[in-house]
Every structure is written in structure tokens, then in C-alpha cells.
Amino acid sequence: KQEVTQIPAALSVPEGENLVLNCSFTDSAIYNLQWFRQDPGKGLTSLLLIQSSQREQTSGRLNASLDKSSGRSTLYIAASQPGDSATYLCAVSHGSGNTGKLIFGQGTTLQVKP
């Protein structure tokens, strides 16, 4: 059974710092991995999607890496801003379409202080 773990559960940093969020999964036979952002009381915003054949994806100040063999992914946020404060969720899937259900980690709640 796939289990997804995120460390740390919470993180508080001053504005401008670079930071790394960690995600690990127990079954390396994944189809893809996604990082999401969730603001309090809101839905999910997809940040980055990494296919199993890829090693990293970048979007602006965000960079996500994937090491499938070791069951790990990291989300790197450069030059953090107060607007980055949110909960970040990592999720993996084992297929697409009908088999593409996502298994989520517990999330890392980030606070960036001005």
C-alpha cells in the first residue's frame, strides 16, 4: 500500500529565504508526482507535475525534483515571499485515467514572515 510522507509538517521562515520541502513515498512504481498548494479553506492549485521518466520540473521560483528509485521528491522555493504562505501537498499516482487516483501526503504548512 502506497504511503506518502511529508517533512516537515510545518515550517516558518523569514522572507527571502530559500527553502526545501520534502516528500517520500514507499512504492516507487509511480506514474507521476504532483505538488499542490492549498490556501486555508480553499481548493488545490497544481504547482508542478513530474512524470515518472522525468527528474525535475521548474516553474518560476519553484523547482521540483524526483528520485523515483529512492522514493523521494523535493520542492525548492527560491526567495520566499509572504504570499507563499500556504499548505503544500505532495501526491503520487500509479496510472492515468481510471487508475490515476492520487495518494496525498499530510502536507507542509509554510509561513513566510515579512
Partner 1 sequence: GAVVSQHPSRVICKSGTSVKIECRSLDFQATTMFWYRQFPKQSLMLMATSNEGSKATYEQGVEKDKFLINHASLTLSTLTVTSAHPEDSSFYICSASLNEQFFGPGTRLTVL
Considering the rule CB under 8 A, would residue 32 count as an interface residue with partner 1? yes
Considering the rule CB under 8 A, would residue 42 count as an interface residue with partner 1? yes
Count CB neighbours of 4 within 10 A. 22
Pick from 25, 65, 77, 105: which binds partner 1 (CB under 8 A)? 105
Considering the rule CB under 8 A, would residue 11 count as an interface residue with partner 1? no
**DSSP code per residue over 63-92:** EEEEETTTTEEEEEE-S--GGG-EEEEEEE
Considering the rule CB under 8 A, would residue 62 count as an interface residue with partner 1? no
**Only segment of 11-19, 20-28, 59-67, 97-105 that touches partner 1 (CB under 8 A):** 97-105
- Closer CB to partner 1, 18 or 106, in the complex: 106
**Close Cβ partners of 101 (under 8 Å, ≥ 6 residues apart):** 93, 94
Q: What does the alpha-carbon distance between residue 55 and residue 32 come to, in Å, rounded to a whole number?
A: 11
Q: What does the alpha-carbon distance between residue 29 and residue 113 come to, in Å, rounded to a whole number?
A: 38
- Contact residues for partner 1, defined by CB under 8 A: 32, 34, 36, 41-44, 46, 49, 89, 91, 93, 96-98, 100-107
